[in-house]
Amino acid sequence: MRPAAFVYLLTNQHHTVLYVGMTTDLRTRLWEHIRKINPGSFTARYNLIKPVYFETLDSEEAALERERFIKGKSRAYKEDLITKMNPGWNDLTDRIMGMEP
């Protein structure tokens, strides 16, 4: 079964800023972040185009709830979440773009 929604974390080149987002189409949303479709947005201003974490959820409601939960946590919690899935904080763009639509 295809996931209904995603929660993801982006960072910048030096990992100094984190962004938590939620979407139903991760590939398109990542493309929008990379292309800076909304130039005044937080992600564009801080050059947050490196996905380092994502998870799939069965519903938009579950993803929204998970996004709010993660946003409410400390930076240390978010760093731990990333490190457990992606120990090297590698750029997951290729993995995400290669996912089936």
Classify the C-alpha dihedral 26-31-33-37 as positive or negative: negative
pLDDT number for residue 3: 73
The pLDDT value recorded for residue 37 is 95
Please state, in angstroms and rounded to a whole number, the distance separating the CA atoms of residues 93 and 64: 22
What are phi and psi for residue 18, nearest 5 degrees?
Answer: -120, 145
pLDDT above 90 as % of the chain: 93
Q: Is the pLDDT of residue 100 over 80?
A: no
Which domains, ranges and CATH numbers included, belong to the chain?
5-97 (3.40.1440.10)
Q: Can you give the pLDDT at residue 101?
A: 63
Edge-to-edge order in the sheet of strand 5-11: 18-23, 5-11, 50-57
Q: Which helix (H) or strand (E) holds 38?
A: none
